[in-house]
Amino acid sequence: MKRRDFVSKGLGTAAAVSLPFLGTAGRPLSAGRESAPPPDGGTSRFKLGYAPPFGLFKAHAGDDPAAQIRFCADEGFTAMFDNGLMGRPAAQQELISRELAARGMKLGPFVLYSDFGVKSFVLRDKDVRAMLVERMKKGVETMKRTGCAQALVVPGRFDESLAWEYQTANVVDNLRACLDVCRPAGLVLVLEPLNPKDHPGLFLTRIPQAYALCRAVDDPHCKILDDLYHQQITEGNLIPNIEAAWSEIAAFHVGDSPGRKEPTTGEINYRNIFKWIHGKGYQGVLCLEHGLSRPGKEGERAVIEAYRACDAF
């Protein structure tokens, strides 16, 4: 299993060109999904860098990546992301980069390493280390073609036979070896904790754990990707936990809980969270890593309206 099931269905495009740092407040959004269109009818830019994945607005924009970028720009989005960016042909990566640059849009973190089925970072093993280093080299190549300066890493499974402290030390050492490849190129690795309910057996599950890893690695090229859907399940108390880890957070994933659909469909007060993040002066991306609560054009329009409502703080 290489990533979430829905990612393989075309949700992706990630890697903010500049390293972000983040913030809350505002009134709760009512369950009725209040729509808050801008004065010009829906084309003014969002306050924050919400980044749809390629394929999210397929019913409106079709399959062509350039057409999807145009649609998102016309709707006021200032970023996009693609978890599967590394798997695209080089020519398509370059096309995406050009189209985004022409519209002043960012590209959020792409998935560099995320193998849920194996023990990797937790091991002190020369073959594993060599595999990880080679993977980093390919990530740097993707960064050079696309300008994506952030790449997502999930450190794999934990080892039931090895003390947790040894595993943690091994993760730190392996990350430092990876950064020896990434640092000279300017590529930032963002570590994503995933909740054990949806993804049992993984080493990295919580924001405080990721924070401790980043502080131990002690390198500005090792940061956190805070997936708010996962954080709500593992520790909740979202704004205080974001604030506590703020110095190490470089990007966000967005999805409501329960259900992992667009904001306003679950229990998370995204309007307050977005207002807090905006108040911190955050300039990075917030990747829309979620599904649709309704199918087709109606569902896609509901996503845009939800973000308009939550962005109206």
> Alpha carbon of 178 to those of 187, 202, 214, 301: distances in Å?
10, 19, 13, 41
- CA dist., res. 313 & res. 309, Å (int): 8
Tokens of 211: 């924070």
2 in a domain, yes or no? no
Sheet holding 222-227, edge to edge: 49-51, 285-288, 249-254, 222-227, 188-191, 150-154, 110-114
For the chain, the C-alpha Rg in angstroms (whole number) is 18
pLDDT score of 40: 44
What's 62's domain CATH number?
Answer: 3.20.20.150
Q: What is the pTM (predicted TM-score) of this model?
A: 0.87
pLDDT score of 133: 98
pLDDT score of 33: 33
pLDDT score of 24: 28
- 65-74 vs 90-102: helix axis angle to the nearest 10? 20
| Torsion over CA: 19, 23, 28, 34 (sign) | negative
Identity (one letter) of the amino acid at 131? M
Three state DSSP letters for 19-52: CCCCCCCCCCCCCCCCCCCCCCCCCCCCCCEEEC
At 130 the three-state DSSP class reads: helix
pLDDT score of 16: 34
Identity (one letter) of the amino acid at 140? V
Number of domains, the chain: 1
Tokens of 227: 């997936």
1 in a domain, yes or no? no
Tokens of 2: 């290489």
pLDDT score of 288: 98
Helices (H), the chain: 58-61, 65-74, 90-102, 126-146, 164-185, 207-217, 228-234, 238-244, 270-279, 296-310
Q: Could you list the active site residues?
A: 192, 289
pLDDT score of 4: 41
pLDDT tens across the length of the chain (313 residues): 444 443 333 333 333 333 333 332 222 232 233 334 433 444 699 999 999 999 999 999 999 999 999 999 999 999 999 999 999 999 999 999 999 999 999 999 999 999 999 999 999 999 999 999 999 999 999 999 999 999 999 999 999 999 999 999 999 999 999 999 999 999 999 999 999 999 999 999 999 999 999 999 999 999 999 999 999 999 999 999 999 999 999 999 999 999 999 999 999 999 999 999 999 999 999 999 999 999 999 999 999 999 999 999 9
pLDDT score of 29: 30
* Structural domain boundaries, residue 246: 7-310
pLDDT score of 31: 29
